[in-house]
């Protein structure tokens, strides 16, 4: 019984962060119903490797509709009448052309929170253009800041735009609007753009830039790999470790455990020495294997961790102890987060097969047997 138990979310299947947002809501107890297209093959918002591996589709039920068939749009509006929130991730104007934009949906349910997920936003000169995570974080200033000194910017998977600046902000926006609706009795539209979200994630760095503490050259600053005490290092066995010994007391412990006794290490924040110190640290860390460094530093205040692969991470004792990962139908995947003391989240089920729950959901959400038969006859379902 997660903290969102009792909330009903109507999701229109799409690509990118909208499905991930709905996974988060489902993990915390919300009932999520996905409106899928009647289609064969891979799920339109999936990876193409099989439904059970589309982890971000877990924990909801699937209703397959042909939105061009008679009665389909009216069915969606009827479902919206009893939903608390609606989530869509299409380009601006698509839902309006379907007859399912905010105006008719809020007319059907004045308390509805209507969540919209796009890359560029609902307005602005780029709003109608195609794009991906890499484009959105390029525009916000995030991509320019990630990479090694003197080298090109490095895409950080699609974590910063799609999921960090997209799905997390959509989830936050939906829950915030749902809280407001409790008092006002009125719904509203939540316009989430990955450009906005990734810019928001960069707030601290814009502040550091304004203060003159962070310059525009990537890979030369305190938190971007420029500092020798905040970086990754290769070990003797070709694996990697990460250190983040920022504070003086943590830096002193790093020096002690790594044997960094020379005077050149005394002046931690003198950036002109960083390249030379980094070369020295590279040689130091290559003297031991990753396991040997773990035995020496892990669990100490050095601020140390081994750099684990996706295969290794679920097996680490800390992750095992906390239950950070779980298994659903043989697929290892992250467990629900964050943690709640009284109303913990839970994975409500594996990713559904398209249309597996159509009749059941329509019946439970208020359609009569006759209405469902009419939809079958029109091939809407």
Catalytically annotated residues: 132, 162
Sheet with 113-118, edge to edge strand ranges: 61-65, 31-37, 8-12, 85-88, 113-118, 188-193
Alpha helices in 202-268 (DSSP H): 203-210, 248-258
Cβ-proximal residues to 239 (8 Å cutoff; 6+ apart), any chain? 289, 290, 306, 307
- 307: helix, coil or strand? coil
Contact assessment for residue 285 and residue 229, using Cβ atoms and an 8 Å cutoff: no
In angstroms, the CA 158 to CA 163 distance is: 7
In angstroms, the CA 371 to CA 367 distance is: 6
SS3 content of the chain, % helix, strand, coil (to 5): 40, 15, 45
The closest of 188, 10, 5 to 82, measured between CA atoms, is 10
- Between the alpha carbon of residue 276 and those of residues 56, 129, 134, 268, 281, the distances in Å are 44, 45, 33, 12, 9
């Amino acid at each position: 019984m997660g903290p969102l138990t009792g909330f009903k979310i109507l999701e229109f299947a799409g690509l990118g962060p909208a499905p991930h947002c709905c996974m988060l809501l489902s993990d915390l107890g919300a009932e999520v119903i996905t409106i899928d297209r009647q289609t064969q093959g891979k799920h339109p918002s999936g990876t193409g490797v099989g439904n059970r591996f589309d982890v971000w589709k877990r924990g909801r039920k699937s209703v397959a509709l042909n939105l061009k068939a008679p009665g389909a749009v009216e069915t969606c509006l009827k479902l919206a009448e009893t939903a608390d929130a609606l989530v869509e991730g299409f380009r601006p104007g698509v839902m309006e052309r379907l007859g399912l934009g905010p105006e008719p949906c809020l007319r059907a349910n004045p308390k509805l929170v209507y969540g919209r997920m796009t890359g560029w936003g609902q307005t602005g000169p780029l709003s109608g253009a195609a794009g991906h995570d890499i484009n959105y974080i390029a525009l916000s200033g995030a991509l320019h800041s990630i990479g090694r000194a003197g080298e090109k910017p490095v895409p950080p998977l699609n974590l910063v735009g799609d999921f960090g600046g997209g799905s997390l902000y959509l989830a936050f926006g939906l829950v915030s609007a749902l809280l407001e609706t409790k008092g006002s009795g009125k719904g509203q539209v939540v316009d989430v753009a990955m450009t906005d979200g990734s810019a928001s994630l960069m707030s601290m760095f814009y502040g550091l830039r304004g203060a003159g503490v962070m310059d525009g050259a990537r890979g030369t600053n305190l938190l971007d790999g420029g500092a020798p005490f905040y970086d990754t290092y290769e070990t003797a066995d070709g694996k990697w470790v990460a250190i983040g010994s920022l504070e003086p007391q943590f830096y002193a412990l790093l020096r002690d455990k790594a044997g960094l006794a020379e005077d050149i290490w005394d002046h931690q924040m003198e950036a002109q020495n960083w390249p030379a110190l980094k070369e020295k640290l590279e040689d130091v860390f290559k003297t031991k294997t990753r396991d040997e460094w773990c035995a020496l530093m892990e669990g100490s205040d050095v601020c140390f961790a081994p750099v684990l692969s996706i295969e290794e991470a679920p097996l680490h004792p800390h992750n095992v102890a906390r239950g950070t990962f779980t298994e659903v139908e043989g697929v290892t995947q992250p467990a629900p987060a964050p943690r709640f003391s009284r109303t913990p989240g839970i994975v409500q089920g594996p990713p559904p097969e398209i249309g597996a729950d159509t009749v059941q959901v329509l019946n439970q959400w208020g359609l009569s047997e006759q209405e469902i038969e009419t939809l079958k006859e029109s091939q809407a379902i």
